[in-house]
Structure 1
Amino acid sequence: MITRRLIPAIGATAAVAALVLTGCSGLTASAGAAGGAGGGPDLPKGDEISTTADPELTALLPEAIAEKGRLDIAVDIPFPPMAMYDETNREIGFDPELARLIGQKLDIDVSINKQAFDSVIPSLQAGKNDLIMSGMNDTPERQETLNFVDYTYGGFAILVAAGNPGGIVTQSDLCGTTVSVQKATVQGDLLRAMDCGSDPVRVTELPSDLDAQTALRAGKSDAYVADAVVAEYAAATTGDGSVFDVVRDPENPAGFSPVYSGIGILKADAELTEAIRATLQALIDEGTYQQVLERNNIGAYAVESAEVNQGAAS
């Protein structure tokens, strides 16, 4: 694995940033409705990255999925730059755009279904969705239930209020502070496991990532912790970059505790896991996977090949 350096996720339009910060959490449309408003499949459009179908990959799909005629995909929205809405209420960002690319390569429709992050795994278990594409970290604990086709590798970052009034410069400085995180994320577990002696991190778990950011902005937490790609995006776009600072530790240039993240599939669905792994590999080989990363300003977090369940080794 090559060394990956942390780069700011910048370049989002003001329109998208405004949508993220105002009311997006109340939207419930899925891409099956938004993307296929004309009754057709939800495919890349406009300047989104596109590909061509591969019949050999299509043949790898489980019979039940092929008969259904679509992949139902659980995505937590908004979670920029991984997933957000544009001004037309279309799902954009790395996860929705990669999902459409996978569907196009497999010659099958996709339905991008908004799902709260803490319920994405139950939605698979209930048969509501087939895949999770929501920037989910690949961990040994989650591997007890899921297979992961890993698609990014990077750490988490710490945001503080502009000017860093608390003087937080390393991860250890979080001891004794209140830190906001999104509910059911790995960051909460990592913070609670820190060796802080008698002065542990006070972890505040909130329903959405935007709620966790808002807690910091309102002074209800001393710091906010999230995947580096998400934290960098928030720092660059909130208030035109004037609201948050990123804590940059020279000893952790790729972010703190780097991990793999990927597409989650129920462990019993080995056939679907292989179909998605082979499809991602095809997208890597042809360069469209990297184009989707670059389009969403997260090119530094690429994986070199499509592998399954690397989390235990990270």
Structure 2
Amino acid sequence: MTASSTRRPTAARSRLAAVGSIAVAGALLLTGCGDQTDKTGGSGSTDSATRAVEAPLADRLPQEIRDKGAIKVGSDIAYAPVEFKDASGNTVGIDPDIAAAMGKQLGVEFQFENGTFDSLITGLRSGRYDIAMSAMTDTKDRQEGIDSDTGKKVGEGVDFVDYFTAGVSIYTKKGDDQGIKTWSDLCGKKVVVQRGTVSEDLAKAEAKKCPKNKKLSIEAFDNDQQAQTRLRGGGADAGSSDFPVAAYAVKTSGGGKDFQLVGEQVEAAPYGIAVAKNDAQLRDALKAALDAIIANGEYGKILDKWGVAEGAVEEAVINGGK
């Protein structure tokens, strides 16, 4: 879920081997030496060694986060398969799984709290959340606190730790694509989207190009599930969302009988974990944890589990969005 901007793939792998080697070497050093002391100056060698093995990157976190033992995550938990509630009401998906793997490296729990997507950065800015992780595309506008609609500065912006790459797709009711293959084919039709996302921005941009006698009508909703319901009920001609979400809806809605993807995905760009500009230590700790789970293979297993391996990055990147 994103605001529009020119996008690019994330950077190539370059420091994973070094990160993995440092983590392993650090763990061996701490377990092999009997005279290690804890940060308070006590002996505590066994406890220190145990913590280093169980959570090798814990000391990278700000002390207040370590003291809490948790990172509060703002997320729009209605965006399957990235984050959503399962039949038992548990928060599941790509983001929660990646966060849990990172949490093992950092020795903390990532606690997901539900919020509407377009309010997450505001919640981060106000201190309600420590981070925002919600299929949020890393863009220059968000980095700089610029409203993508008006071009005006509305805040100090955020930093991103990029962890996935995704494009945007169009989908229609199954067997009724109405000739829609590209964004220009939406002229004269109605499209449903989630408010505040790149899909909405792309639809607005396309609407400006449509001839006067073929206007593009856009209906935006608080979450993607509402948009899907509208399309399923015949209230629109097409929907648009990030590729993993659109593909998941096509596969699962109505047992695969409700929707179909049309055309190719566009605007491939990085998803980023948003962190306040004044929280560089937390940002860098998250980057180290992500690099660690990429190196140890947990990251790849998670993406394979959800069928989105094509969106994998080879290295965590800070503010890679354009």
TM-score computed with the length of structure 2 as normaliser: 0.76
Cα deviations by residue, 1:131-181 (Å, 9 ceiling, x for unpaired) = 111111111111121111111112111011111242111221012221111
- Which residue in 2 is equivalent to 1:296? 306
Hey, what does 1:53 align to over in structure 2?
54
In the TM superposition, what are the counterparts of 1:79-228 in structure 2 within 5 Å?
Answer: 79-144=79-144, 145-194=157-206, 195-198=209-212, 199-228=214-243
| Structure 1 letter corresponding to 2:310 | A
| Structure 1 pair 216–271 and aligned structure 2 pair: CA distance change class (3 A) | same
The amino acid of 1:162's aligned partner reads K
1:241 aligns with 2:256: yes
CA contact (8 A) 2:293 2:299 kept: yes
1:260 maps onto 2:245 in alignment:
no
CA deviation after TM superposition for structure 1 residue 63, in Å:
2.1
Aligned 8 A contact 2:79 2:245 in 1: yes
Confirm or deny: 8 A CA contact 2:166 2:243 kept in the other structure.
yes
Task: Output the CA distance in 1 between the equivalents of 2:139 and 2:237.
Answer: 27
Deviation at 1:67, TM superposition (A): 2.4
Conserved 8 A contact 2:158-2:274: yes
Residue 196 of structure 1: how far off its partner (Å): 2.6
Which structure shows the bigger proportion of residues in helix conformation?
A: 2
- Give 2:142's aligned amino acid: R
SS at match of 1:193: helix
The structure with more radius of gyration: 2
Taking the aligned partners of 1:310 and 1:202, their CA distance within structure 2 comes to 33
Aligned length, in residue pairs: 257
Contact 1:73 1:132 in 2 (8 A): yes
Distance 2:300 2:133 in 1: 17
How far the C-alpha of 1:200 sits from its partner, in A, is 4.5
Counterpart in 1 of 2:76?
76
Please, which of 238, 261, 279 is the counterpart of residue 289 of structure 2? 279
Corresponding residue SS for 2:103:
helix
Gaps of 5+ in 1: 3-51, 250-254
Deviation track 1:67-89 (CA, whole Å, cap 9, x = no partner) reads 22210011211210001222332
Structure 2: distance between partners of 1:165 and 1:296: 26
- Contact 2:177–2:262 under 8 Å retained in 1: no
Structure 1 residue 232 and structure 2 residue 244: aligned? no
Structure 2: which 5+ runs fail to align? Answer: 1-8, 11-52, 145-156
Which letter does structure 2 place at the counterpart of 1:67? D
3-state SS of paired residue (1:80) = coil
RMSD: 1.6
Secondary structure, counterpart of 1:290 in structure 2: helix
The answer (yes or no) to whether the contact 1:75–1:95 under 8 Å persists in 2 is: no
Paired with 1:176 and 1:122, the residues of 2 have a C-alpha distance of 35
Which residue type is aligned with residue 226 of structure 1?
A: S
Work out whether residues 69 and 107 of structure 2, in 8 Å CA contact, stay in contact via their aligned partners in 1.
Answer: no
Deviates more, 1:300-309 or 1:226-235: 300-309
Provide the rounded CA distance (Å) in 2 between the counterparts of 1:84 and 1:151.
Answer: 18
3-state DSSP class of the match of 2:267?
Answer: strand
TM-score (normalizing by structure 1)? 0.78
Q: Percent of aligned pairs with the same residue?
A: 37
> Deviations along 1:14-33, whole A, 9 cap, x unmatched?
xxxxxxxxxxxxxxxxxxxx
